[in-house]
Amino acid sequence: MAHRDVIVVGASAGGVEALRDLVSGLPADLPAAVLVVLHLPAGSRSALARVLDRPSALPVRSATEGDRLARGTVTVAVPNRHLLLTEGDRLTLSLGPRENGHRPSVDALFRSAAQAAGPRVIGVVLSGALDDGAAGMLAITSRGGIAVVQDPADALYPSMPRNARDAVGAAHVLPAAAIGELLGRLTADDLGDDMQVAPVPLDMQMENAMAQLDGESWGAESHPGDPVPLTCPDCHGPLFRIPDGVLHRFRCLVGHAWSAESLAAQHTSAVEGALWMALRTLEEKAELSRSMAARATAAGHDLSGRTFHERADDAHQAAVLVRDLLERAARDTPLVAEDGVA
Q: 161 near 125, Cβ under 8 Å? A: yes
User: Can you list the alpha helix ranges (DSSP code H) found in the chain?
Assistant: 15-24, 48-53, 106-117, 134-142, 159-168, 176-186, 202-211, 215-218, 260-298, 302-332
| Closest to 198 in 3D by CA, of 146, 142, 117, 121 | 142
Catalytic, 132? Answer yes
Kindly name the residue from 39, 82, 223, 256 that is annotated as catalytic.
39
- Active site (annotated) includes residue 244: no
Number of Cβ within 10 Å of residue 96's Cβ equals: 26
Q: How far apart are CA 25 and CA 134, in angstroms?
A: 24
Buried (b) or exposed (e) across 284-321, using 16+ Cβ within 10 A? ebbeebbebbeebeeeeeeeebeebbebbeebbebbee
Please, are residues 52 and 60 in contact by the beta-carbon 8 Å criterion? yes
Give DSSP secondary structure letters for 300-333: T-HHHHHHHHHHHHHHHHHHHHHHHHHHHHHHHS
Ramachandran class of 184: left when φ > 0, alpha when ψ lies in -120 to 50, beta otherwise: alpha
Instruction: Provide the β-strand partners of residue 94.
Output: 82
Residue of 132, 154, 244, 339 with catalytic role: 132
In the residue annotation, 172 being an active-site residue is answered as no
Q: Which amino acid is at 340?
A: G
Catalytic positions are 12, 39, 132
